[in-house]
Structure 1
Amino acid sequence: MLLRPPCLAVVVRSLPLFRHCGTRFGFKCEFGVMGRESLTSKAANFRICNVSGCATELLEVRSEDPTLHVLFIPGNPGIVTYYKDFVESLYDQLGGSASVTAVGHISHSKKDWENGRFFSLQEQIDHKVEFMRQEMQNSRTPLLLVGHSIGSYISMEILRKCPEKVTYCIGLYPFLTLNPGSMKQSMIKNISASSIICAAVSLIVASLGSLPSRFSRFIVANSLGKSWSPLAIKATCTHLLQYHTMRNVLFMAMTEFKQLPEVPDWAFLRANREKIAFLFGLDDHWGPLHVLEEISKTIPEITLAIEREGHTHSFSCTEAGSVWVAEHIVSLIKARILTSNQRI
């Protein structure tokens, strides 16, 4: 929701990663050479595409000969520029053998492409499913879904709707169920439930965005973004401090609280346990550790990990957090590749 290789225990099951329509795929990069040292860094490109009549912002790094495509689903706000460091780091650490695409949420952007229309969580889910079908319909490259916060829930729903297309699904700091014990969630729920309060908050935010850039950046840097990277501060000032963006962020949040269950869908998780992995954070009210404990007890086969490095839920707002989480994802992929190769 709103905006840590590693010193953690990662449980990796003995299951092949690269299977697609009955065919097993191997990763062309060897375990020992897959990393940023083997590749010149490549900048992520920004582009806009049309999905079901809606302008959709993408941030992507394309491999010349991909053996894997990583599709990243952001949290809320769904502003792809928050994840630029993460997307580039993930591409680098995969040695250039995978394309990485981050797809933004509708109307979570600087320009009001949709003329003030609000989009619910379900509409954002449908949008991502349609994007995948439109952009990857004829691709036989294995697809790895990575979701952050509510993006983890969206990724699960994509897996539910298109199980034949998705090879593996990783949820980062996942917002999967409601947390009645969280005061922050209760406060955001109450704010988002009132259209009058949402409009007032959005007007205040937009007024900050209308200030000269040096002033708005100073305010953001000294309030929300004291430890944030310049990239995250710029993304906030450019995209989030807009009336239509904030209204959509709050409207989507309101529908999240209506749609998300109080307990996970155990039947779905159990049926897809071979395809799912989660990374939880310490002291994260969106993905509290009691949810991890419930999943571990109920479906111990699912790969679970806890980030203990202090990068927090908003990992993409710092370069160190972006690099660490990318390393974690690559460690999962490497382990699966080794397992898959041993089975061939």
Structure 2
Amino acid sequence: MSSHRQPHISTDSFFHPSTASDPSLSPTTIYMISGNPGLIGYYHSFLSILTEKLNPPTAQQTPKTPPFQIYGHSLGGFELTKTPASKPKYYDLEEQICFVQQKLEDFLADVSGSSEQTQPPTNSLVPASRPKVILIGHSVGSYIAMEILRRHRERSMNGTTSSSVDFDIIGGVMLFPTVVDIAKSPSGQKLTLAVVVGVLVRILTALIPGGLLRALIRFYMGSPQDNMVDTTAAFLESDYGVQQALHMAADEMRTITSDRWSDDVWGMSAVKDPVTRLFFYFGRNDHWVAERTRDEVIELRGRTDGGPKMIVCEEGLPHAFVLKNSEAVAKKVADMVLDIVSD
């Protein structure tokens, strides 16, 4: 039986199936796309809390309770359980988009096979429902999500989809999104320094014993949860993790520039096809999103009725919310997801 069909939390992936009391209900898939570094381990707590908020215990479920299944996987080049090749493969942003798109399609094909018994028979007058997907992107994961949405719409309209499963992307939740002009952000302007620091960290990691490394990580990160320490240590100790993060970051600076998406991708167009409902949750003083960039995106894309809903955090939540603020963000995301499926 495929691992996708059983709940699991592993180093490189997360999956929790629907707990709907009615097995004939097709669950909406929530797919998590991480930021850089692209380790899904950083999101385990967030996704676990989100699961609890979206999938109440069976006794509390009502006919109106929508079923959800939640899945996420580390980005390409960040997989800690994969045996490294003799020659490392570093993924740029375009390759990450293709990697995530393939993971999503493979997952949907896999889980749809496990639920064939709940689908109407071939000769039934009741049409089989197309799987519904909501993308959650964090940081550069938001850019990846927008590109997947664009390509999915183009392939669907042109009838050129190569996926073995036809599905609809009905919504997207973009958290602290770096979708435009990332190089103008405070951290984007300091990327050269980040490269130097990354090299030094890799050298020091090779020299420091594992126990001391974890103690230093715990101190630097302000006493985070144990899984955050373990994920960070595994990332730093991996053969190519730091280099992959820096390689991808450099490509982000070159690629994430001007707004490249049409109105229909932003959910602002009166097209015949279903328009994806989008939520953008921006931080204040986000070191990866310049204040001016954020305000310009909101002014251009967030002032249209029926367009994407854009929210600016007034609670001081940080860009790296997964370290200590998973509970607060998971609650907000759950409300956004329920809003998306309420129509």
| TM-score using structure 2 length | 0.73
Q: Which residue of 1 aligns with 2:172?
A: 169
Contact 1:61 1:101 in 2 (8 A): yes
1:324 equivalent among 322, 328, 334: 328
1:75 equivalent among 35, 42, 65: 35
2:245 equivalent among 236, 243, 249: 249
Percent of aligned pairs sharing the same letter: 20
Q: Which residue of 1 aligns with 2:59?
A: none
Q: 1:322 to 1:191 in 2, by over 3 A?
A: closer
Name the stretch that deviates more: 96-105 or 286-295. Answer: 286-295
Which residue identity does 1:166 align to in structure 2?
I
Name the stretch that deviates more: 266-275 or 170-179. Answer: 266-275
Q: How many residues align?
A: 280
Separation of aligned partners in 2, 1:101 and 1:206: 34
Q: 1:113 to 1:294 in 2, by over 3 A?
A: same
Matched, 1:314 2:320: yes
Separation of aligned partners in 2, 1:180 and 1:72: 24
2:226 equivalent among 207, 230, 233: 230
Q: How does 1:1-344 map to 2 (within 5 A)?
A: 45-47=8-10, 57-65=12-20, 67-96=27-56, 97-111=67-81, 113-115=83-85, 116-137=88-109, 139=112, 140-163=130-153, 165-189=168-192, 192=195, 201-202=198-199, 204-205=201-202, 207-208=204-205, 211-223=208-220, 225-226=221-222, 228-263=224-259, 265=261, 267=263, 268-269=265-266, 270-271=268-269, 274-299=276-301, 300=303, 301-318=307-324, 321-338=325-342, 340=343
Which residue identity does 1:316 align to in structure 2?
V
Which residue identity does 2:91 align to in structure 1?
F
Following TM superposition, by how much is the alpha carbon of 1:104 offset from its aligned partner in structure 2, in angstroms? 0.8
Which residue identity does 2:298 align to in structure 1?
S
Contact 1:87 1:100 in 2 (8 A): yes
Q: Can you list the C-alpha shifts for 1:229-251, whole angstroms capped at 9, x where unaligned?
A: 22212210122333400000001
Contact 2:7 2:16 in 1 (8 A): yes
Which residue identity does 1:59 align to in structure 2?
F
Contact 2:97 2:144 in 1 (8 A): yes
Q: Can you list the C-alpha shifts for 1:248-277, whole angstroms capped at 9, x where unaligned?
A: 000111111111113453544244975211
Which residue identity does 1:107 align to in structure 2?
G
Which residue identity does 1:226 align to in structure 2?
G
SS of the aligned residue for 2:187 comes to helix
Higher RCO by CA contacts (8 Å cutoff, separation 6 or greater):
1
SS of the aligned residue for 1:162 comes to helix
SS of the aligned residue for 2:174 comes to strand
Contact 2:34 2:140 in 1 (8 A): yes
Following TM superposition, by how much is the alpha carbon of 1:289 offset from its aligned partner in structure 2, in angstroms? 3.8
Separation of aligned partners in 1, 2:194 and 2:210: 27
Following TM superposition, by how much is the alpha carbon of 1:98 offset from its aligned partner in structure 2, in angstroms? 1.3
Contact 1:121 1:252 in 2 (8 A): yes
Larger Rg: 2
Q: Can you list the C-alpha shifts for 1:99-155, whole angstroms capped at 9, x where unaligned?
A: 111111112143563422211111111011111222214743311100000000000
Contiguous gaps of at least 5 residues in structure 1: 1-42, 49-56
Name the stretch that deviates more: 85-94 or 228-237. Answer: 228-237
Contact 1:278 1:304 in 2 (8 A): yes
Separation of aligned partners in 1, 2:193 and 2:151: 31
Contact 1:68 1:144 in 2 (8 A): yes
Separation of aligned partners in 2, 1:80 and 1:44: 15
Two-structure CA RMSD over aligned residues (Å): 2.7
Q: 1:120 to 1:286 in 2, by over 3 A?
A: same
Contiguous gaps of at least 5 residues in structure 2: 1-5, 21-25, 57-66, 113-129, 157-167
SS of the aligned residue for 1:152 comes to helix
Q: 1:132 to 1:111 in 2, by over 3 A?
A: closer
Following TM superposition, by how much is the alpha carbon of 1:64 offset from its aligned partner in structure 2, in angstroms? 4.3
SS of the aligned residue for 1:251 comes to helix
Q: 1:253 to 1:243 in 2, by over 3 A?
A: same
Separation of aligned partners in 1, 2:180 and 2:340: 28
Separation of aligned partners in 2, 1:114 and 1:127: 17
Which residue identity does 1:136 align to in structure 2?
L
Name the stretch that deviates more: 105-114 or 92-101. Answer: 105-114
SS of the aligned residue for 2:71 comes to strand
Q: 1:189 to 1:174 in 2, by over 3 A?
A: farther
Separation of aligned partners in 1, 2:240 and 2:71: 24
Separation of aligned partners in 2, 1:206 and 1:72: 32
Name the stretch that deviates more: 305-314 or 63-72. Answer: 63-72
